[in-house]
Each structure stands twice: as C-alpha cells, then as structure tokens.
Amino acid sequence: MKISIERLNALATKISMKKWKANLSVKTSREYTNFANVLCVFQTFNKSHLIKFVLRPFVKNNFKNILLFADGCVDKTVQKASLLLDGKNHAVISVNNVHEIQNYRFAMNSEWGKAAEFSLLMQDDDIYPEDFSWLEYGLKMMSADPKLVVIGFAGGYDFLKMHQPSETYETDSFFANDGFCGIEDTWVAKNVIPTRQTKFSFQYCQVVFRAPHLIRNAEFLKNTNFDPLFEPYQDDDTNYCLDLWSKGFRVGLVTGAEIHRNIGIGGMRLSNFTSVNKRPSHTKRNYSYIYSRYGDFINTGQLENIVKAANDRIVKKFVYL
C-alpha cells in the first residue's frame, strides 16, 4: 500500500512529538570525571551475557571516556552496553565484523583519541577489579619514562631467534614449556608470564600481549600504527611493539594486576579458526611481515641488548618500585 508524503509527514511528526515528550522525562546522566586523560576502548563480539560484568567496574569508578565497539554482534550487546554507558563521553559503535585492528585504529585516530593522553585497549573476555590501582601504577610508569609508549598487563615475549615461516606454518604446533615458547623451526621466545603476587612490579619487555594495553597516544600515533596490512587480526601488537623499540622507544610489562582472563570462549576458538596447531593463512603472511621487518634486529641480539640495558636502569630510575 502506497502512502503519500503528506500522510508520512503527519505520522512521523506525531511519533516524533511523542518521543520528544518521553525524552523530557528521562533523567540526565550523571557526571563521569575520573581518569579524564584516558580513553577506554573495548572490543566485543556477542557478549551481551557478560557485558555488564566487563563494564561495571569502569562505570562504577566514573571513567570519563569509554568507547565500545560491538563488532559483528547479533545479540543484545548494543542495547545492554548503551544502557550502561550513559555518560556524555561514552559511546557504543556497531560495526560489521571488521575485527579489532580497524576498530582500535578508528578509536585512537578519533577526536576522543587525539584529545586523550592515553588509551586503554581492552577486549570482552577480561573482568577487571573495582580497584584500579593497577592502572594508576601503569600511569606512574608512563610518567617516570617519557620514552615508554606501550604497557601490557597480561604477559609478553622476549624473542630469542626468528626464521622464515615453514611451508607448513599453518599447521605447525605451538609449544610452551620450561619458560620458553614458539613455533618449532620458525621462532622461539622467552615466555614472560606474570605470576600471582600482592604487589605490582614493572619490567621492560620486547613484546606485550593485548589486552589490556595502555598506550601513550601522541607518541604512538606519530611513530607507529595499527598496520592495516595485518588485518583482520593477529600480530599487529607484536608489530607495533617491535617498531617502537626499533625507533628508540620502549615497551613494558606490569605484573600483579588481578584481572580475570578468558571468561567464556572467544570467537576465534568458537569458529575453530585458531588453535595450537591450526591457524588461518593470513597469520603466515602476518608473521612474514614481522620476520622481514625485525628478523635481523632480533637475531643479531641488538634488541635483546637494548631491552636488557633498559631493565638494568630500572633500579636507578624508578626509585618507588
């Protein structure tokens, strides 16, 4: 049945007036003022059943700037997150399964990202404590070292050797034992895993896992990026960590944060795309970028020496550790 423009206009006007009156009765959102220099960025995929647990500590602690990407969600993540994030500088953005590299790049290059001094990049399977002393500690580390651009809180790698990927890279097994890890005949690294402890500690590390990542925005955007060549996912964090070290900047790891990780099963595991001996073809391509860019930097021991020298200076520089 056709409807005239005049009739459509009358109906639309009536409905708009009704919604406007309903909007007037909505209470003004409360003020969010804490951590005003930090932009919190969440990446989530079909986690409506967990989203309140993920976001609640940040809302309860009045974080000023929160941006959440609902990436390819077909559940009620957008609706539930929108109800929780009611601040003036809170936003929920629905995107069509573009994955985290593009979303994080969008956030960091947005007006909010450029206005904030730091970004805190997070995913949807970590539950954070209501005590944000771990973040305050990370910000103190940033203040102590202006060349420190990325801090991880989950763990990291110190590479020992790196070779070209084998022909069977997509099905080669990942190993982790005796403090070392890697893919046999391709790369080996010292596995830097935080141990449970009551106090925070800091060390420099070649590469730190995401998430969370605390990033110094201006220096990051000027000196490295979320390289689109790595899309849709995998190893872009390795790339920008190594890129920063190669340009005279530093990457660090904070241990001691009581973050509950891997809550629920992630999309990559659900889809069976990625496991210890199975990975998509683009991951071989991405590793090849890493090897071609930083293989010599690692294999000559240059990076190892730079990181060791940085760690040797910690006792003198960070007197409050």
The domain covering 34-317 belongs, at the CATH homologous superfamily level, to Spore Coat Polysaccharide Biosynthesis Protein SpsA; Chain A (3.90.550.10)
Domain-wise residue ranges, the chain: 34-317
Tens digit of pLDDT for each residue in 174-227? 999 989 999 988 999 999 876 666 689 999 999 999 989 999 999 999 999 999
β 34-44/118-122 pair status: parallel
Tens digit of pLDDT for each residue in 58-97? 999 999 999 999 998 999 999 999 999 999 999 999 999 8
- Supply the pLDDT for residue 197: 63
Percent of the chain whose pLDDT exceeds 90: 71
pLDDT above 50 for 301: yes
In order, the DSSP letters of 86-114 are -STTEEEEEESS--HHHHHHHHHHSHHHH
Percent of the chain whose pLDDT exceeds 70: 91
β 34-44/63-71 pair status: parallel
Confidence of residue 321 (pLDDT cuts 50, 70, 90): very low
How confident is the model over 6-35, as a mean pLDDT?
83
- Supply the pLDDT for residue 319: 42
Element (H, E) at 183: strand 180-183
How confident is the model over 244-261, as a mean pLDDT?
94
Q: Residue 127 has what DSSP assignment?
A: B
Tens digit of pLDDT for each residue in 127-160? 999 999 999 999 999 999 999 999 999 999 999 9
Query: For residues 124 and 80, which has the higher predicted lDDT (pLDDT)?
Result: 80
pLDDT mean across residues, the chain: 90
What are 255's two structure tokens?
């241990």
Cα–Cα distances (Å) from 227 to 224, 236, 255, in that order, read 8, 7, 27
Evaluated on CA atoms 300, 304, 307, 309, the torsion sign reads: negative
β 63-71/90-95 pair status: parallel
Confidence of residue 239 (pLDDT cuts 50, 70, 90): very high
